[in-house]
Amino acid sequence: MYIFQYIRELSKASAVEDKNVTKKRIIDTNKTGNEIIICNASYLLGQTIRQFVVKDNHWHISKKAYEQLKGLVTQDQLWDYTYDANHAYKDASNVSHKFNKNFTVEHVVPVNKILTKLKEEAKANKLTDDRIMQILDEIHICIITKDEDKLLNHGFRKNREGDYKQIIEKNGAYAICGIEVIDKICFDSNNYLI
Domain segments of the chain as ranges: 54-182
Angle between helix axes 129-136 and 2-15 (nearest 10 degrees) is 80
Q: What is the pLDDT along the chain (194 residues), one digit of tens a residue?
A: 578 888 888 888 788 765 554 455 554 555 566 666 666 778 888 888 888 767 778 888 999 998 888 877 767 667 666 555 567 777 777 788 777 788 888 899 999 999 999 999 999 999 999 999 999 999 998 999 999 999 999 889 888 888 889 998 878 999 999 999 987 777 777 777 77
Is the whole-model pTM more than 0.85? no
In DSSP terms, 49 is beta-bridged to: none
d(CA 49, CA 112): 10
User: What is the reported pLDDT for 177?
Assistant: 94
User: What is the reported pLDDT for 39?
Assistant: 67
User: What is the reported pLDDT for 27?
Assistant: 46
* CA atoms 52, 148, 85, 99: torsion sign: positive
User: What is the reported pLDDT for 38?
Assistant: 63
Give me the long-range contacts of 27-30 (CB less than 8 A, separation at least 24).
29/2, 29/5
d(CA 36, CA 17): 16
User: What is the reported pLDDT for 35?
Assistant: 61
